[in-house]
Amino acid sequence: METRCENCIVRKFNSLRAMNKEELKQVSDAKVTKKFKKGDALFEEGEKLNGVYCVRDGVSKLSKLSANGKDQIVKLATTGEVMGQRAVIVEEPTNLSAVAVNDMEVCFVPKEIIVDSMHKNPDFTLEVLRHMAHDLKEADDVIVNMSQKTVKQRVAEAFLYLKNNYGVDEEGFLNLTLSREDIANVVGTATESCIRIISEFKKKGFLKTSGKRIGIVKEKELQSLIDGF
């Protein structure tokens, strides 16, 4: 396992790539690598974060509890992504919970180092800003989808998202397997509705399943359904 941040490939994909050697050394010296099992919580909504979490391996769901007791998954964070940045920047408790979707390896970086770099290195700050700007755009898109698309369309979209971002295995099943409940929480619907729609897609030959695993069979048909026939 590579323990020096300077040599970590993961870094290439996130804002840490804008750090200079000295800063990276600091991060490397202060960081703590942690492992989480599938289902473990990295942090909970309302918690004060003392640093950020850089994903080395695995996927985490970032969710927010609603008044009626349902989780809404707002984002999936993957290898290379940094979690908790927002809360550290605004110095507020985090508004999201992070739970491991599969086994994870994560580097925890104390906030002092991040904050320090943000004050001194505009390139780094700007890089963080770019990432946040990207997230904000995605959030805007989600808002529009939520209000304007049907549940069926959003479920279809979720599968294409999973395919495009995590790929498929040799048998054609999605690499990232989410429970039906998680999919429902991404899409913002009831678990039963989600299951029903998956069944329908299966019946129509758009999808295939094998246990929890799901594979996309007719991508075009799914896409045209999303676009509104």
Contact 28, 5 (CB under 8 A): yes
Select the residue interacting with a copy of itself from 143, 161, 169, 205 (CB under 8 A).
143
Whole-number minimum distance, CB 220 to a copy of itself, in Å?
17
Smallest Cα–Cα separation from 19: which of 120, 108, 91, 106?
120
Contact 51, 114 (CB under 8 A): yes
Residues in Cβ contact with 68 at an 8 Å cutoff, skipping those fewer than 6 apart: none
x/- string (CB under 7 A) for DNA, residues 75-114?
----------------------------------------
| Interacting positions 162-191 with DNA (CB under 7 A) | 179-181, 188-190
| Two tokens, residue 45 | 């909504």
Binding of residue 160 to a copy of itself (CB under 8 A)? no
**HSE (side-chain half, CA atoms, 13 Å) at 185:** 21
Binding of residue 78 to a copy of itself (CB under 8 A)? no
- Which of a copy of itself, DNA, none sits in contact with 156, Cβ below 5 to 8 A by type? none
Between 112 and 123, name the residue whose CB sits nearer to a copy of itself: 123
